[in-house]
């Protein structure tokens, strides 16, 4: 069952999705799914290739940016920026709880110049806390000024 949480007009985060959730995502206008889970993180989770193939069957693009632990590299932030910038509709990103996806989204948006206070409010409304990456968001946003 889908637990998509809207963070912006074009971005949603979710805990682990099932293959059946891809149809629900399509009905909500999702054109890109971003997986932020490493394969085999938990027993029984669908692999990135299974989700990619199921998304492809629904004409939904798929990007795999696996995040382990709470460490976000500049390369991963850049990959998320590229994914967000290339999307032509709604984006759905997922991980175990949706937190890593939300944190990576916030870092990407801050890198593009978004206000960290606004991002923090958007995340809070969706039930996520950006405190773990707030200093990094501030630094990334400052680089754009």
Residue 138: the pLDDT is: 93
CA distance linking residue 136 with residue 52, whole number of Å: 30
Mean pLDDT value across residues 48-73: 95
Residue 143: the pLDDT is: 84
Q: Residue 62 above 70 pLDDT?
A: yes
Query: What CA–CA distances, in Å, run from 116 to 50, 83, 88, 99, 135?
Result: 34, 20, 24, 16, 9
Q: What is the pLDDT of residues 17-29, one digit of tens each?
A: 999 999 999 999 9
Read off the pLDDT band of 94 (50, 70, 90): very high
Q: Residue 1 above 60 pLDDT?
A: no
Alpha carbon dihedral 7, 12, 13, 19, in 10-degree steps, equals 170
- Give the pair of three-digit tokens for residue 67: 């995040």
CB 34 within 8 A of CB 91: yes
Structural domains of the chain ordered from first start: 5-143 (3.90.190.10)
> With pLDDT > 90 as the criterion, what percentage of the chain qualifies?
91
Read off the pLDDT band of 2 (50, 70, 90): low
Task: Give the full edge-to-edge strand order of the sheet including 30-35.
Answer: 5-6, 11-14, 90-94, 30-35, 61-64
């Amino acid at each position: 069952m889908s637990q998509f949480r809207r963070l912006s007009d074009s971005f949603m985060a979710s805990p682990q999705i099932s293959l059946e959730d891809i149809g629900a995502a399509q009905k909500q206008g999702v054109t890109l799914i971003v997986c932020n889970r490493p394969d085999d993180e938990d027993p029984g989770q669908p692999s990135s290739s299974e989700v990619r193939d199921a998304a492809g069957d629904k004409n939904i693009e798929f990007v795999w940016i696996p995040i382990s632990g709470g460490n976000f590299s500049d390369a991963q932030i850049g990959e998320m920026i590229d994914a967000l910038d290339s999307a032509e509709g709604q984006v759905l990103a997922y991980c175990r709880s949706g937190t890593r996806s939300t944190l990576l989204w916030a870092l990407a948006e801050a890198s593009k110049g978004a206000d960290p206070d606004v991002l923090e409010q958007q995340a809070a409304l969706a039930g996520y806390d950006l405190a773990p990456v707030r200093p990094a968001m501030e630094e990334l946003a400052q680089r754009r000024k």
